[in-house]
Amino acid sequence: MSASGSTRAILAALTANAGIAVAKFIGYVITGSSSMLAEAVHSVADTSNQALLLLGQRRAKREATELHQFGYGRSRFFYSFVVALVLFSLGAVFAILEGYHKIGHPEPLKSPLVAVVILVVAIGLETYSFRTAMVESRPLKGTGTWWQFIRRSRNPELPVVLLEDTGALLGLAFALTGVGLTMITGNPIWDGVGTVLIGFLLGVIAVILMVEMHSLLIGEGATGEESVAIQAALEQTEHVERVIHLRTQYLGPEEMLVAAKIALAPSADLTTVAAAIDRAEAAVRSVVPTAHMIYIEPDLDRSAAR
């Protein structure tokens, strides 16, 4: 999938979160709910995160330079990692501190019904954003589970948006529960408890994102299915006797580097070697279109001699 699918998911999330953030801040001013304030800050963080993801996509499109000869594709990994840090620092830490303060110094809510209405509307908007991310992710997800998609995807934006939207929906449920229990019991401590739960939820999601984006940032190779396909394509190429070794690395979500050493027959002349390499490169690109950069080193098959 090209970056267009990721962009649609990001724009849907950006639009939803920007509107939700404004509504939540208005709700906080009216009600004084700490859960509402934590959710407002959460939405501001999410909106900033989507802007960072769009910036990463834009910077990744820059042409290769003498200093960065393989291009800037990993900018998308870097900005997705920054998103995880923002989600943790702005969302999780603030919510935990605000919730702790509200539990220690509870204050009654004003017009809590307003908070309930805003939270219900926010759930609807977040559901729209979450559905968009799921639709755009399905072609990449394949037959695996959603957790497997998050762990294995080389596209950084879609897992980020999926996890953010999941966290947003769960956070809204926590906030709605906290406000609801406060209305039922008359005890504002429940509002603080809901806020703390939102903070811990955001912290868990941020840690998951940081681990996954760190792995992409330092360089991940082809998936198991892609490695098998590349190996088979090389071995089935005419004049290639076997693959001595194969190394791959993603330079960006849609750009893979493939380096391989292949064994050719000792009797192959230079023309045959060049033709075999050209056919091998074409075969690899036919099965894995993201293999933009391919370096193949011919060698003699010394396995029999050993």
**pLDDT tens-digit profile of 159-186?**
888 888 888 889 889 988 988 998 888 8
Question: Do 34 and 72 fall into the same domain?
Answer: yes
Question: Do 151 and 170 fall into the same domain?
Answer: yes
- Given 218, 244, 274, the domain boundary residue is 218
Question: Do 77 and 168 fall into the same domain?
Answer: yes
Whether the Cβ atoms of residue 264 and residue 301 lie closer than 8 Å to each other: yes
133: its two tokens: 């991310």
Residue 179 within a domain: yes
| Mean residue pLDDT across the chain | 86
The count of domains in the chain is 2
Residue 305 within a domain: no
Residue 263 within a domain: yes
pLDDT recorded at residue 303: 62
The residue ranges of DSSP E strands in 206-300, in sequence order, are: 240-252, 255-264, 291-300
- Given 218, 236, 254, the domain boundary residue is 218
Res. 116 pLDDT band, cuts 50 70 90: confident
132: its two tokens: 């968009």
Residue 246 within a domain: yes
CATH number for the domain spanning 269: value is 3.30.70.1350
Query: What 8-state DSSP symbol labels residue 162?
Result: H
pTM score:
0.78
- Given 218, 241, 256, the domain boundary residue is 218
CATH number for the domain spanning 49: value is 1.20.1510.10
Residue 306 within a domain: no
Question: Do 100 and 176 fall into the same domain?
Answer: yes
Highest mean pLDDT out of 55-64, 105-114, 229-238, 259-268: 229-238
Segments forming the whole domain that contains residue 252: 224-300
Mean pLDDT of 126-138: 85
pLDDT recorded at residue 1: 45
Question: Do 186 and 247 fall into the same domain?
Answer: no
3-state helix, strand, coil in the chain (%, to 5): 70, 10, 20
